[in-house]
Amino acid sequence: MSPAKDTWESPFHYCELTQADERLGRLKDLGVGVEVMVDDSRLLWPDMAWEEILGLADRLAETGVPALLHGPFHNLNLGARDEHIRLYSRDLMFRGFRAARTLGAQHMVIHLGFLPQYPPETAEAWWQHFSDTLPAVLAEARESGVALLLENTYESEPTLFERIFDQFASGELGMCLDVGHAHCYSPVPAQQWAERLRESIRHLHLSDNDGKTDRHWALGKGTVKALPILEVFARQGEYPTITLEVPFDSLDESVAFYRDMCQSAFQGQVIS
C-alpha cells in the first residue's frame, strides 16, 4: 500500500471528549479515527479531568482507534489585549498538550481568536501580543511531542497565517485548513487557501455548508467542493490527515462520499 493510501484511507471523526467512548465501537467498524474535541475547558481547568481522559486513553488502546485532539477554543485568544485572557489561553494550551499526549494524539488543533474586522492598529497590537505569547506555547509543544496546528475560522484570507509561518518556522507548528470555514467565511476560494498554505498544512477539516454559515452538513449536501483541495495535495505527493466534521448519524454516508473523492484524487486508485 502506498504512503498516500496509508494516510488517507482512514479519516478521523470529531466529537466531544465526553462522547468519544460511546462512539469508538462504530468508528472502529468504519475504519475511522477520532478527533477528540475539548469543548468544555472545565475538563482541563482548574483541575485536569484525569478520570475521563485516562479512561478514554485506555479505551483507545483497547480498540486501536487512533486519536487527535482539538484543543479548547471558546473565547480563548493568545493575542488578546487583556493579559489575563492571554495567559489563561496559554495555560489551557499547556493543559491541552498534556491531554493530547495522554491520548496518543500527534497534534492539537487550536483557533487563533483573531477577527478580520479589527482595524489596522488593533490587528497589529493583536500580532504583537500573539508573537510574544506563541514561543512559550511552541516550547511546550516541543516538550510534549505534540504539534500545534492553527485552524482558520473567521479570517477572510490566508495572509495572517502566511505571516505566522514565516515568522515562526518550526517543526512543532503547522496549519489545519478548515475547508468549510474557508468556503463560508472567506472570499478567497478554499482551493487557493490550500495552494498558498500547502507547505504548512498538516491536517484538513472537511464538512459541507451552504456558503453562508458553518453548517457542518454531511459531505455532498451543500456547495463545498472538496475534491480540488484533495487534488492540490495528491499532485504534490503530500497527504495531511483529515477529519470529517459531520453529524455522527451521517458519518457512514460521509465516509463513503469521502472515499469516492479519494478515488478521484488518485485517478481511480481504490481506497478501501
- Residue 214's CATH number: 3.20.20.150
CB 245 within 8 A of CB 180: yes
Cα–Cα distance measured from residue 245 to residue 34, given in angstroms and rounded to the nearest whole number: 10
CB 103 within 8 A of CB 69: yes
pLDDT beyond 90 at 89? yes
Select from 262, 251, 264, 217 the least CA-distant residue to 30: 251
pLDDT beyond 50 at 40? yes
Q: Which three cell numbers stand for residue 46?
A: 482548574
pTM: 0.95
**Residue 202's domain spans which residues?**
3-265
In a domain, 271, yes or no: no
In the structure, what pLDDT confidence band is assigned to residue 4 with cuts at 50, 70 and 90? Answer: low
pLDDT beyond 80 at 5? no
Overall average pLDDT of the 123-145 stretch: 98
* 67, β-bridge pairs: 34
- What pLDDT shows up at residue 3? 56
In a domain, 154, yes or no: yes
CB 268 within 8 A of CB 234: no
In a domain, 272, yes or no: no
pLDDT beyond 90 at 156? yes
In the structure, what pLDDT confidence band is assigned to residue 266 with cuts at 50, 70 and 90? Answer: confident
CB 180 within 8 A of CB 196: no
pLDDT beyond 80 at 198? yes
CB 198 within 8 A of CB 238: yes
Overall average pLDDT of the 227-243 stretch: 95
pLDDT beyond 50 at 173? yes
Overall average pLDDT of the 130-151 stretch: 98
- What pLDDT shows up at residue 269? 42
pLDDT beyond 60 at 181? yes
- What pLDDT shows up at residue 267? 72
Going by the DSSP 8-state scheme, the letter that residue 179 receives in this structure is: H
- What pLDDT shows up at residue 272? 36
User: pLDDT > 70: what percent of the chain?
Assistant: 96
Task: Give ∠ CA 137-142-148 in degrees, rounded to 5.
Answer: 55
In a domain, 156, yes or no: yes
In a domain, 270, yes or no: no
Cell 477572510 belongs to: 156
Going by the DSSP 8-state scheme, the letter that residue 115 receives in this structure is: -
- The number of folded domains in the chain is 1
Q: Which three cell numbers stand for residue 271?
A: 481506497
